Each structure stands twice: as structure tokens, then as C-alpha cells.
Amino acid sequence: MTTSPDTGAGPPPAPRDTPMTLLNTQYLPSSRDWRTPAGRADSPFRADTFVREAQRAEAAGVDAFFHADFSGVDRANLRSGPPVNAFEPFQLAALVAAATTRIAVMPTVSTLYNHPFTFARNLASLDRISGGRAWVNVVSSFRSGTAIGMQRDVPKAKRHAQTEEFLTVARELWASWPPEALVPDPAGGRFIRDDLIADVQRSGEFYRQSGPIDMAPYSARFPFTLQATSSLEGLRLAARTADGVFAGTPTLGAARQLRRILRTEAERAGRSPDAVALLPGAFIQAVGSADQAERLAFAERQRRARAFGGRAALDELQARFPGLRLHGTAPGDRLPADVLPEDPDEVFAAHGSRYLPLWDVVQRRPRTAGEFAAEAISLNEHARFTGTPERIAEEMRRWYEEGGVDGFQFILGNGFEVLCEEIVPGLRKAAAR
């Protein structure tokens, strides 16, 4: 018997009154406080620390505990800080799942250095351990020097096709065990209806598969799938195969444009425009008072003026964003009208999502090239929210209500306790008002 399941991503999520929230393990105290008096030097390698932090996030109402992972050794950063991948992602997710009851657990899988069968098997096991709370972050590894035990030289031009086939095979394997195949019947002596288990027969460009997965998933629906992307082709892949997109959108204008493009691409792929959630990274800088927030903002403006003014800023900006039309422009010159295309769709198609924040800066009509450079070069990769916890929650809520995002991934910031005790609950309170 051959399967013919619907192997695309699942239906759109149920409507929400509050933004979806994902907690990246890089935000946690155990990942960054190893040199502080309050921290422990070995915290990044203590699984019990991650479990306690996940429990704290669950109590606050965070939707998912997300463990990013990068294949290979990043030698440049090992000296000054703990590695991101202190634990194998699926093992850490299983440990967290066993110690929690509601929060989703999201490990990362590389489509280049795993096989769909092994991936589907691990994910099905995690889904059963967690009682249906398994999510997954899907990436193509990008580091040179990645240590693997098999040859996977997929040309860059074919990475998206390979990832799509990987997910198609994994979803077919998941669907090979329908829920009605499990019929534990002590009296009749039958545990599984093996006649309902479908054989997956596939011979594609990248993978061959014969037979079903060898364990039953807990959930009928394939888990929520997140993909990171910054290109149009990557966004189109996510629109066909993912449930969520992670991208850097440091301004609300850039987030709105990217979400609009994502919704359009989802419709073009035959899905609901609400099927794929935009979940950008959030950098949280919580302070105790509005006055303190204003002082920080003023200091940041002064820092920008000192650090990013003049010819050096223009040169660095042009080097960082070669698609900008700034060649031969002096800081005091009027900003060229054609520095970027006027249509954000053209900007994204030509340069990717990294350029959308620059388009947003252009829309504010800076008078000179120097003013444009000072603002553009100081943008963070992720959205930055500074202020009192209440003000941060209100601003994040505004991004959600004004169509910029479907949720956030807390990736950097201060104050894990403040995040759990005030900001995440504050998002729910803002929705109730």
C-alpha cells in the first residue's frame, strides 16, 4: 500500500488574542550569566538549570521552549563564551518535556546532516514523550567545518529543493501511522491494526524511502514547523512547507512589509494567508522607570551621532549593504532618490529581508545621506524593545495589533525574571483591556 497523504504544512492556527511567544535558550541566564557572581560557571552544561528555566517560562505562559543548534564547532566564539549546542537538541527537549505539562518543546534539526526517516522517528518519539507538544525548527547547516559522518554536498542552489523533499518524506512517514492503527484490545489480543500502516515508497532527487516509520506518533498532525529565512526563495519555501518564519525585522515597518509578503506567498501556495506565522527575534532591555528609559534612548542617540557620523558610516553601510546606491555620495549630500527601489516587494526580491529596514528608514525621509547612514547602520538585527516592563508589553502588543507580527522569539535581553513575571503576563493583560 502506498501513501498519498497531504504532505504540506498543516492548517492555519486557531485565532489568538495574544502574540505567540517563543523562548530561545540563548536568552536564558544559564546561557550568559556564567561570569556573574549570581551565576555558575558550569551552568551552560547543567541540564537541571535548563529544566528549571523552562518550568519558569511555562508558568509565565510562554508558548514554546526553543533550543537553537548549529552543526560544527564555532572556534572563533568558543574562547569567550559557552557553545550554543551544549546539549543535543532532541535529548534536551525530551528532558524538558518530561518536567513540564503545557509548554511546547522545539529542538532544531539540520536537513543536510540528517535523514528524513531518522528525523521523523526522533520527532515522533519526542511527540509521544511530550504528549503532543513537539515542535521543530528546520535549518540547512551553513558553517564550514561541520563535522558529519556522511557526505552531503548539496549545491547551494539546490538547498531549498533538498529541504522541501526532506520535509515531504518526513511528513509522509508521519502519516504512515494513522491514529486508528492503534487499537489496544486486551480481550481480543490485538494491539495494532497493521493493515492500516501505509508503506512509503519514494525515490526522489535526494532521498529514497521504502516502508513506514517504525513508531507511532502521538499526534495525527505533523508538528509546528519553524524555518528561518531572509530571501524570497526561502520565504516561498516556508510559505509551502512551514507554520512559522523566523526573520530579523528591527522596525515595525519592515515587519509589516515582510508579513504582507509572507501572507501573499502563502496564498500563492494554495494555503490560507494566516497559515504561516511571522515570529521575529526580540531584544528586551527592561528598565525600572520611564525616566531611565528616556536616558538610555538619549545616550543611544548620542552614541549613534559619535559612532556613525561622517564618511566612515557611509563606507561601512555601503560595504554591509552593497545593493544601496550610495557610491560617490558625501555625508552632507541630499539622499539619492534611487538609493533603494520605492516598492518594498522589489527591495525584498532583489536583496532579501535584510534590506527592508533600510526601506523603512528611507520612508522617514532623512534629508542627507549622512542622516540616513547614522540611522540605518545603527539598526539591530532584531527588534529592540526598551522601557519599563509595562511599556515593553504595550509596544510589543502594538506590533501585533498593527499587523507587523504574529508573535516574537525572545532571543536576547536582560532580566529573565522580569520577562516571566511582567512582560509575558503583560502581553495577556494588554489583550484583556
Domain contains 372: yes
Per residue in 320-350, pLDDT (tens digit) is 888 888 888 888 899 988 888 888 888 888 8
Do 371 and 402 belong to one domain? no
| Nine-digit cell string for 33 | 550569566
User: Is position 231 annotated in a ligand binding site?
Assistant: yes
Reply yes or no on whether the pLDDT at 182 is more than 50.
yes
- CA 236, 239, 240, 246 dihedral sign is positive
Phi and psi (nearest 5°) for 276?
Answer: -120, 120
User: CA-to-CA distance for 140 and 121, rounded, in angstroms?
Assistant: 19
Domain contains 294: no
Per residue in 185-203, pLDDT (tens digit) is 899 898 999 999 999 999 9
Reply yes or no on whether the pLDDT at 228 is more than 70.
yes
The last residue of one of the domains, among 347, 362, 377, is 377
User: Is position 110 annotated in a ligand binding site?
Assistant: no
Do 127 and 145 belong to one domain? yes
Do 192 and 218 belong to one domain? yes
Do 45 and 156 belong to one domain? yes
Per residue in 35-70, pLDDT (tens digit) is 666 666 667 778 888 999 999 999 999 999 999 887
Do 245 and 354 belong to one domain? no
359 is in which domain, residue-wise? 309-377
Do 331 and 399 belong to one domain? no
CB atoms within 10 A of CB 269: 17
User: CA-to-CA distance for 259 and 286, rounded, in angstroms?
Assistant: 26
Do 423 and 340 belong to one domain? no
Domain contains 81: yes
Reply yes or no on whether the pLDDT at 5 is more than 50.
no
Reply yes or no on whether the pLDDT at 303 is more than 80.
no
Domain contains 295: no
Do 135 and 246 belong to one domain? yes
Reply yes or no on whether the pLDDT at 290 is more than 80.
no
Summarize the confidence of residues 269-288 as an average pLDDT: 94
Question: Between these two residues, 39 and 268, which has the higher pLDDT value?
Answer: 268
Rg (CA), the chain: 23
Q: Show Cβ contacts of residue 54 under 8 Å, excluding neighbours closer than 6 positions.
A: 23, 65, 96, 99, 100, 103, 105
Q: Show Cβ contacts of residue 114 under 8 Å, excluding neighbours closer than 6 positions.
A: none
Reply yes or no on whether the pLDDT at 29 is more than 80.
no
Per residue in 123-178, pLDDT (tens digit) is 999 999 999 999 999 998 655 445 455 556 788 889 999 999 999 999 999 999 99
The cell 528546520 sits on which residue?
138
Domain contains 275: yes
User: Is position 353 annotated in a ligand binding site?
Assistant: no
The last residue of one of the domains, among 377, 401, 420, is 377
Nearest Cα residue to 353 out of 221, 232, 253, 224? 232
Predicted model pTM:
0.86
Reply yes or no on whether the pLDDT at 4 is more than 50.
no
User: Is position 241 annotated in a ligand binding site?
Assistant: no
Predicted confidence at residue 304, as pLDDT, reads 61
Rounded percentage of the chain residues whose pLDDT exceeds 70: 82
CB atoms within 10 A of CB 275: 23
The last residue of one of the domains, among 359, 377, 395, is 377
Domain contains 293: no
The number of domains in the chain is 2
The pLDDT confidence band at residue 13, using thresholds 50, 70 and 90, is low
Nearest Cα residue to 126 out of 169, 102, 95? 95
Predicted confidence at residue 284, as pLDDT, reads 93
Do 132 and 218 belong to one domain? yes
Tell the burial category of 327 from Cβ atoms under 10 Å away from its Cβ (0-12, 13-18, 19+): exposed
Is residue 105 a contact partner of residue 64, using CB atoms and an 8 Å limit? yes
Do 245 and 333 belong to one domain? no
HEC string of the chain?
Answer: CECCCCCCCCCCCCCCCCCEEEEEHHHCHHHHCCCCCCCCCCHHHCHHHHHHHHHHHHHHCCCEEECCCCCCCCHHHHCCCCCCCCCCHHHHHHHHHHCCCCCEEECEEECCCCCHHHHHHHHHHHHHHCCCCECEEEECCCCCCCCCCCCCCCCHHHHHHHHHHHHHHHHHHHHCCCHHHEEEECCCCEEECHHHCCECEEECCCCEEECCCCCCCCCCCCCCEEEECCCHHHHHHHHHHCCEEECCCCCHHHHHHHHHHHHHHHHHCCCCCCCCEECCEEEEEECCCHHHHHHHHHHHHHHHHHHCCHHHHHHHHHHHCCCCCCCCCCCCCECCCCCCCCCHHHHHHHHCHHHHHHHHHHHCCCCEHHHHHHHHHCCCCCEEEEECHHHHHHHHHHHHHCCCCCEEEEEEECCHHHHHHHHHHHHHHHHHC
User: CA-to-CA distance for 301 and 307, rounded, in angstroms?
Assistant: 10
Rounded percentage of the chain residues whose pLDDT exceeds 90: 50
Do 158 and 89 belong to one domain? yes
Domain contains 210: yes
CB atoms within 10 A of CB 164: 17
Per residue in 345-394, pLDDT (tens digit) is 888 888 888 888 888 888 888 888 888 888 887 787 889 999 999 999 99
Instruction: Give the CATH number of the domain where residue 395 resides.
Output: 3.20.20.30
Domain contains 302: no
CB atoms within 10 A of CB 19: 24
User: CA-to-CA distance for 38 and 343, rounded, in angstroms?
Assistant: 50
| Nine-digit cell string for 56 | 519558569
Which residues partner with 413 through β-bridges? Answer: 284
Do 371 and 386 belong to one domain? no
